[in-house]
Amino acid sequence: MIIENCKIIFPNVIEKGTILIENGLIKEINPKTYPSNNEIINGQGLYLSPGFIDIHIHGAGGFDVMDGEYDSLNNICKTIFPHGTTSFLATTMTCSIRDIRKAVDAAAYAIKKGTDGANILGIHLEGPFINAGMLGAQNPDFIQTPCIDTFKKIIGDNLNIIKTVTIAPELEGAKELIKYLNKLGIVSSIGHSKASYKEAIDGIASGISHSTHLYNAMTGLHHREPGIVGAIFDSDITTETIADGIHVDYPALRIAYKQKGLDKVILVTDAMMACCMADGKYSLGGQDVFVENGAARLQNGSLAGSTLTLDKAVKNVYKNSSYGLQEIIKMVTYNPAKLLKIDNKIGSIKEGLNADLVLFDEDINIKRVIINGKIML
């Protein structure tokens, strides 16, 4: 397959060119010659980007990761790929150990079997090792004290697919679990936490390398108590932002990007089952969620995930900042791939990497999606 005459988005520059795809991989960039029997996609006027990677998504299209079913996961995969997401971490909620285990088992099966859309890269455990004082939309009935044995009960034989764990480092037992995860190469992410600045920094010293949805469900920045936000700004850890204009105002996003530098920021959706659906009543982690004008909230008004898609997140940042498109695309491609240590496979347009690619126009409208070298849209 050939994609020609497109504007190729590299991590630091956009250049017009052509790429050759063979056997699911990017075979060559700007080949001098190529077989005439190749399928040719004319990318004139379009941008060619690496496929988007969402490391924090609970559901879409009326389905939830916590359904614990292959069909639900497969439908999520089919719902999100037209929006440019070619791979993602299936994200769980603070529910019973049995239900989380069921969701983890289902994801492991889906990864082995394969899906009809976006690829599942693994699991993001968002809880149950969180602080009851920073619930967000998590269910307080199922919070667990951080414990290595509890973690093992949750994951069963699926250690290899656990990629990130959101944890409150101020809780008893948290540092031991963080150090354990760190040795296994699993990303510990601070989130749903009431940690002070010092407690957050201590957690980072123990092995936390990432932070879950910056500003949301964490202690804020105050000039006499910098909190978790201050610790994130004052350290080298990476962070997620939900750029839907609901979770965080755009000026606060710009401040964060300027402080952290775009290499340390990843755009996520935190989407729940109402993503790509009409307003109405849904559920998240067993709790009722009411979606109005695209904003998802519990009955008490707490935000309950989002209805965001990654193409919209890119568009929102592009329209509400002065950053170049290649800088913003890096936040949904190379940066998440690097965090997960799979940037040698996906996340960039580079010879030898997987052909997970997206073509879109000047307004970030997705025109073509290619996953594993196969045209999906």
Residue 352 belongs to some domain of the structure: no
In the chain, DSSP finds a helix count (H) and a strand count (E) of: 10, 21
Residues 64 and 29 in one domain: no
* 244-280: burial string, b at 16+ Cβ within 10 Å, e else: bbbbbeeeebeebbeebebebbbbbbbbbbbbbbeee
Residues 110 and 226 in one domain: yes
Averaged pLDDT for residues 135-147: 96
pLDDT for the residue 364: 98
Averaged pLDDT for residues 19-30: 97
Residue 101 belongs to some domain of the structure: yes
Residues 17 and 100 in one domain: no
Residues 59 and 166 in one domain: yes
270 noted as active-site residue:
yes
Residue 56, annotated as binding a ligand: no
Q: Return the H-helix or E-strand segment holding 252.
A: helix 250-260
pLDDT for the residue 34: 81
The span from the CA of 240 to the CA of 244, in Å, is 13
Indicate whether 36 pLDDT > 80. no
The CATH number of residue 262's host domain is 3.20.20.140
pLDDT for the residue 3: 97
Q: What is the mean pLDDT of the chain?
A: 97
Residues 335 and 367 in one domain: no
Residue 201 belongs to some domain of the structure: yes
Distances (CA, A) of 260 to 157, 255, 256: 36, 9, 6
Residues 140 and 205 in one domain: yes
| Full DSSP string of 136-197 | TT--GGG-----HHHHHHHHTT-GGGEEEEEE-TTSTTHHHHHHHHHHHTPEEEE-S----H
Residues 33 and 159 in one domain: no
Residue 246 belongs to some domain of the structure: yes
Residue 56 belongs to some domain of the structure: yes
Q: Which of 31-45, 47-61, 86-100, 339-353 has the lowest mean pLDDT?
A: 31-45
Residue 247, annotated as binding a ligand: yes
The span from the CA of 23 to the CA of 362, in Å, is 29
* Nearest alpha-carbon partner for 64 in 27, 86, 95: 95
CB atoms within 10 A of CB 29: 15
pTM above 0.75, yes or no: yes
Structural domain total, the chain: 2
Which entry of 270, 311, 343, 356 is annotated as an active-site residue? 270
Q: Which of 35-39, 114-118, 172-176, 321-325 has the lowest mean pLDDT?
A: 35-39
pLDDT for the residue 254: 98
Is residue 38 packed enough to be buried (19+ CB in 10 Å), middle (13-18) or exposed (0-12)?
Answer: middle
Residue 355 belongs to some domain of the structure: no
Amino acid at 78: K
Bond prior to 226 in cis (omega within 30° of 0): no
Residue 224, annotated as binding a ligand: yes
Indicate whether 105 pLDDT > 90. yes
pLDDT for the residue 338: 98
Residue 184 belongs to some domain of the structure: yes
Where residue 178 falls among pLDDT bands split at 50, 70, 90? Answer: very high
Residues 24 and 76 in one domain: no
Where residue 90 falls among pLDDT bands split at 50, 70, 90? Answer: very high
Where residue 197 falls among pLDDT bands split at 50, 70, 90? Answer: very high
Residues spanned by the domain of 158: 52-346
Residue 126, annotated as binding a ligand: yes
Tens of pLDDT, residues 271-329 = 999 999 999 999 998 899 999 999 999 999 999 999 999 999 999 999 999 999 999 99
